[in-house]
Structure 1
């Protein structure tokens, strides 16, 4: 299955990335950072690209963009516009161009935000995050910086942080500025926290004047998550009235049909969408198709569907397994946590009066969710889900302990007499984050943390919470690998992309 609709190498010296630029003005270009940013030297050309895209004339947009960048390959706005052209075509070079903007203009909030948006929209969320953070640091008073960071947090499944970021951005809006974009993301953040009643109110408010297609689709998605399938169907009917045959409406309807057990109908709808004129490769639709085929027992077809998805993730989204990075982390932790070293480090004290974590660890798809549900049925255990707090504690240990070394070697500070008690600060960082997100319940003694691959950090877990139980899930490797292959997760250095 092909994802790229066209590639346009130059007549001579075409770049190997198939952007359409000459190699000299593309991948062979020296990426020496340029101070600041600023307006394009060819504003008319950039406007021409934008207008051609608006008309749907990709060929003309590409022609103008190539001309602009052959004259000045470092034109910030030209590069941003060209990345948009390539993304519209589904060309892998789009990501290369989008990341080049920030490589050339690392101190430009416009460049950083453009790169973050591009990476976010193609699903490369982890790659988008540092650019969104940089854009916010460079333009902290701009509401748009906060909105973009909130979108990234949502894509990272951190709805609590997203809601907090949206509040900060909303506070910077002018009194007469429209707030619909913030309301829209707030509804998504509330949905992500399971606050369906509040989310429903925001969705209804957004449609109070007139129905909006994007709102209705996400509202239907929220109702589907809340198992209110009739309401979801009614919302999709309203969306269909606004835009008959819209692919996102069809895809969401297929989700509802699948949840209702009407899988043949769901598959027929998905396949009809695939045959629609102009339909490109949709990774969300492709994953749904694979899941439906799997549930129908059509395993070979399901496997082929996920193979196509993995190729797209690799070739277009740039998701590859970070094997070297994973190896370095494991090697470093094994080198540090020798028995003699681990035994010599102090332990944090137990924070009395505060709910304590109960860790459920294991590889993704090993059964951690099922075990967490069983544990959370106990009256003294609250379900916490996948919490990133152990990783956050590891990352912040260098700052908290005022160490010259990164984790895990930052923990050597604990051997110093004036640092030994500071392990409690890292413990409190974890517990405070859980309390902020209303995960821990003062009426319950425990809350679960089932972040996959937390077993990598068992050493730190034992230092921070020496009395916390750890439940380690093991499942047959073949079952785990197949289940990971059938999902689009990014846990474990994008191991699902391998």
Structure 2
């Protein structure tokens, strides 16, 4: 007896070989793991389990297409195996075959509804796709089947935040902390529900956890940010500054960001986009409303206003523009933007249509959509050739407020400029210089909108925003906080509140931020 029902029918020696392969992978020797598992597959060609383990090795070594083929061989032997279907979904997802992956996970859930993993995989990927309500249902199913599955609890909290169900989200984050009091993702989630400040008991708990020496660095960073936000809400700005400084210093040590590489990129991008061919179709991309700028500059609020319009789908932060350009870089064997001067009008037309094909699902219900990926500002210079009909809305906020808000926010993607005040100032200067020039080159396409102006005079600025986007005025845009949609950013709570002025926080830090003012220089004028 092997003790593992999935190994039933295998000789004990073959079970030992499969287990040895699994151990080799766990111990960091995928080559030996694959050799052992191929041996087991050859000796038991009619059994699916060695094939499943082989596919896991192939996925681990980034050969997703091979993993798909291996799992399909296994499913030919056991088509009703829920775990195989779930693993196939993971492999298909790694190949970019999104719809097939979702179908595989749904099939796994139907075959064995008691298993939490397929529900979790389904929910996680539905959430990434912006299908938040369906994601909540799937993650609730995962948690009900495995109440101690920490990633499912945290991700369910995130999905509930994105849906605007803040009390339910907080309960899930608290449940996660009950399992793991130093869970940085849960503390980050609670802290990002800015409408419900953390309390005195949370301050004690955070400080106690930060005294531990056995917690992961990522958890320590997240808890430091949460503590900083808590102290700011309590009015202890010196303590808040210290907490943010420690968290960012640790993150920068873990993932250094290179200011010199960034400045070189900006110079190259400006030079490469100085002259571009006239577009084959000047209307290409008219469906697209890009919202670009620094994080924490008000971009989520501007998107929420546009998404309240009956003709606009709020798609959130889409990766597609960067992916299209990266794939072209791989095809040409040159990094972006070095190949930009060689691209013809036909190349740009092809790339624009590729982007529109990738984003077509966001136009299924409404004719136009927003793409709010902040980093898309780096590509704004090529849009007049690639998607000349698109509108680019650049959002700007007071530079000190923007810089300090970035410093206070923990970002998922690392390395990141926001872990150091000098790096933030460098990034602000570079992005401002680039966007100012690209707006001169394409004045009808790139439109500047300021966060403070919107708060001071909402209706006037909202009408101007809609006009810039070629949209008729709709009164729903004046009450965008009532719009029911998934908001998948750290501003999910704020954009569900009515517009109000007086949101500045940096001035309260007084002399602590004087070095930042000096670094920002003329931008603060």
The two structures have a TM-score, normalised by structure 2, of: 0.55
Among candidates 183, 198, 212, match of residue 119 of structure 2: 183
> Are 2:233 and 1:295 equivalent residues in the alignment?
yes
Change (3 A) 1:179 1:361: same
Instruction: Give ranges in structure 1 of 5+ residues lacking alignment.
Output: 1-42, 51-75, 81-100, 111-130, 154-159
> Are 2:165 and 1:228 equivalent residues in the alignment?
yes
The equivalences for 1:42-441 within 5 A come to 80=28, 134-136=62-64, 139-140=67-68, 141=70, 147=90, 165=101, 167=103, 180-209=116-145, 211-214=147-150, 215-232=152-169, 246-248=181-183, 251=187, 255=191, 259-261=195-197, 263-274=199-210, 282=219, 283-315=221-253, 318-338=254-274, 341-342=275-276, 345-350=277-282, 356-398=287-329, 403=332, 405-412=334-341, 414-415=343-344, 420-436=345-361, 438=362, 440-441=363-364
* 1:321–1:496 Cα contact (<8 Å) kept: no
1:176 Cα shift?
8.4
Instruction: Give ranges in structure 2 of 5+ residues lacking alignment.
Output: 1-18, 38-58, 72-85, 421-525
Superimposed CA distance per residue, residues 356-376 of structure 1 (whole angstroms, 9 cap, x where no aligned partner)? 112222222222222222333
Q: Distance in 1 between matches of 2:62 and 2:346?
A: 33
Out of 217-226 and 303-312, give the one that drifted further: 217-226
1:465 Cα shift?
2.0
1:230 Cα shift?
4.4
* 2:373 counterpart residue number: 451
* 1:495 counterpart residue number: 417
Among candidates 477, 480, 484, match of residue 399 of structure 2: 477
Q: Distance in 2 between matches of 1:253 and 1:477?
A: 26
Change (3 A) 1:269 1:357: same
Change (3 A) 1:172 1:195: closer
Cα RMSD (Å) of the superposition?
4.7
User: Number of residue pairs matched?
Assistant: 364
Q: Distance in 2 between matches of 1:256 and 1:359?
A: 25
Q: Distance in 2 between matches of 1:377 and 1:451?
A: 18
* 1:6 counterpart residue number: none
Q: Distance in 1 between matches of 2:391 and 2:400?
A: 27
Change (3 A) 1:431 1:492: farther
1:495 Cα shift?
1.1
1:303 Cα shift?
1.9
1:380 Cα shift?
2.9
Query: SS of the residue aligned with 1:471?
Result: strand
1:463 Cα shift?
0.6
* 1:254–1:270 Cα contact (<8 Å) kept: no
Change (3 A) 1:332 1:183: same
Q: Distance in 1 between matches of 2:280 and 2:60?
A: 34
* 1:289–1:305 Cα contact (<8 Å) kept: yes
Change (3 A) 1:193 1:265: farther
* 1:348–1:421 Cα contact (<8 Å) kept: yes
Q: Distance in 2 between matches of 1:237 and 1:258?
A: 16
1:323 Cα shift?
2.7
Q: Distance in 2 between matches of 1:490 and 1:204?
A: 24
Change (3 A) 1:335 1:296: same
Q: Distance in 1 between matches of 2:319 and 2:193?
A: 33
Q: Distance in 1 between matches of 2:207 and 2:372?
A: 36
Q: Distance in 1 between matches of 2:317 and 2:192?
A: 25
Change (3 A) 1:369 1:255: closer
Query: SS of the residue aligned with 2:323?
Result: helix
Q: Distance in 2 between matches of 1:350 and 1:441?
A: 23
Q: Distance in 2 between matches of 1:198 and 1:333?
A: 40
Out of 486-495 and 328-337, give the one that drifted further: 486-495
Higher relative contact order (CA closer than 8 Å, sequence separation 6+): 2
Query: SS of the residue aligned with 1:364?
Result: coil
Q: Distance in 1 between matches of 2:351 and 2:317?
A: 19
Q: Distance in 2 between matches of 1:266 and 1:324?
A: 40
1:245 Cα shift?
7.1
Change (3 A) 1:355 1:463: closer
* 1:468 counterpart residue number: 390
Change (3 A) 1:471 1:221: closer
The two structures have a TM-score, normalised by structure 1, of: 0.58
Structure having the higher helix fraction is 2
1:238 Cα shift?
6.8
